[in-house]
Amino acid sequence: MFLGHFATAYAAKRLAPRISLGTLFAAAQLPDLVWPWLVVAGVERVTIAPGDTAFTPLRFDHYPLSHSLLTVAVGGLAFGAVHFWRKRRRLDALVLGALAVGHWVLDFVSHRPDMPLWPGGPRLGLGLWNSVPATIAVELAMFAVGLWLFHSATRARDRLGRWGSASLAALLLLIYAGNVTSPPPPSSQAVGWVGAIGGVLLVALAAWVDRRREPA
Ligand SMILES: [Zn+2]
């Protein structure tokens, strides 16, 4: 899942308006921020296998650290704990931990049974990705609701705040459209590098957008 993860981050702004959108993006994307670096390092494995599911040409062979429920929960706990240690806001820490675990749940819904419960444990997945129309419908609906919640919870400080957040949302939609329509990537290393750099850039952009907006 792609847009669905960002949708939960946007929506969480309504619940925890003092957390930067960049931090919310990072929590909701935590497994996907770690995964590409592990792929590049050869620790986790993905294969370009068009048709593995209808939606993605990627076959996730081995990702016990970035995408098992246990390690994601530990990562979410650590992320929330670091935030609490710095800001002393319990609800915000809980929201960040829940976003990370929510990532696993959404991937569990999307992927075929390749999501481990713990490293080496049983692998689960409901396979939404077996249907392209259903995947797109679910993700677009989630994204629309998330964006609406974000924009009802915040207001722009200036024109940059208005256009910046619209541009970020448009960029996410463009990336999604690119994923859906472009040919399979050339290699797993390419997937890793694009994911690694893209993930960091999106978090940075969201943090910048957040500074141009304030709680409504
Ligand atoms: Zn993921």
CA of 86 to the centre of ligand 1 (A): 27
pLDDT in tens, 125-137: 999 999 999 999 9
CA of 160 to the centre of ligand 1 (A): 30
At 208 the pLDDT is 97
At 96 the pLDDT is 98
Confidence class of residue 43 from pLDDT cuts 50, 70 and 90? very high
What's the burial of 51, exposed, middle or buried (CB within 10 Å: 0-12/13-18/19+)? exposed
CA of 35 to the centre of ligand 1 (A): 8
Ion ligand 1: residues, CB < 5 A: 31-32, 107
Share of the chain above pLDDT 90, in %: 98
CA of 174 to the centre of ligand 1 (A): 19
CA–CA gap between residue 201 and residue 207 (Å, rounded):
10
**Which residue, 87, 80, 82, is CA-closest to 18?**
87
Confidence class of residue 165 from pLDDT cuts 50, 70 and 90? very high
CA of 182 to the centre of ligand 1 (A): 20
Confidence class of residue 109 from pLDDT cuts 50, 70 and 90? very high
CA of 66 to the centre of ligand 1 (A): 8
At 5 the pLDDT is 98
CA of 31 to the centre of ligand 1 (A): 5
CA of 193 to the centre of ligand 1 (A): 15
Do 81 and 8 meet the contact criterion of CB atoms below 8 Å apart? no
Mean pLDDT (the chain) is 97
At 146 the pLDDT is 98
At 175 the pLDDT is 97
